[in-house]
């Protein structure tokens, strides 16, 4: 995870502008860190995490230091044992799964939600599926 100060200056400026606009009315003034996903050509794909907004983050696409699109992604449930998993396929479908893990991470993660976003060749984001998994029973622990 990168800190804002570690990003190139034009990208820092863009992110600061988005934080000031605060279109999602998020608490806190700044993001906690940034994670770069594999680019789609010249389009950067970036996740901005903000710990003050539990289980939420922004997915952004950027080209030439200009914001193309962004999506607030939020999950329900407790955060202290939460696990979030990201995967992106060759067609730029981003799968995000949220689950619960025991604090020692000795048991498998129990996945509770999954969302799939598509990032088109122009960098536009669209949610193509959203799934909630039922709690598993009988795993006695």
pLDDT surpasses 70 at 79: no
Answer yes or no: is pLDDT of 50 > 80: no
Mean pLDDT value across residues 44-59: 73
pLDDT of residue 120: 94
pLDDT value at 27 more than 60: no
pLDDT category of residue 89 using cuts at 50, 70 and 90 = very high
Q: In a 3-state reduction of DSSP, which class is residue 59?
A: strand
Check residue 101 and give its pLDDT: 76
- pLDDT mean over 131-141: 63
Token couple for 77? 């449930």
């Amino acid at each position: 995870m990168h800190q804002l100060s570690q990003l190139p200056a034009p990208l820092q400026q863009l992110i600061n502008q988005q934080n000031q606009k605060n279109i999602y009315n998020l608490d806190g003034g700044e993001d906690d860190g940034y994670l770069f996903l594999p680019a789609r050509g010249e389009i950067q794909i970036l996740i901005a995490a903000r710990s003050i907004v539990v289980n939420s983050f922004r997915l952004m696409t950027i080209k030439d230091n200009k914001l193309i699109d962004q999506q607030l992604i939020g999950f329900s449930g407790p955060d202290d044992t939460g696990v979030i998993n990201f995967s992106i396929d060759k067609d730029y479908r981003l799968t995000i799964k949220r689950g619960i893990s025991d604090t020692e991470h000795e048991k498998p993660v129990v996945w509770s939600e999954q969302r799939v976003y598509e990032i088109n060749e122009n960098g536009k984001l669209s949610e193509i599926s959203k799934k909630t998994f039922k709690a598993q029973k009988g795993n006695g622990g």
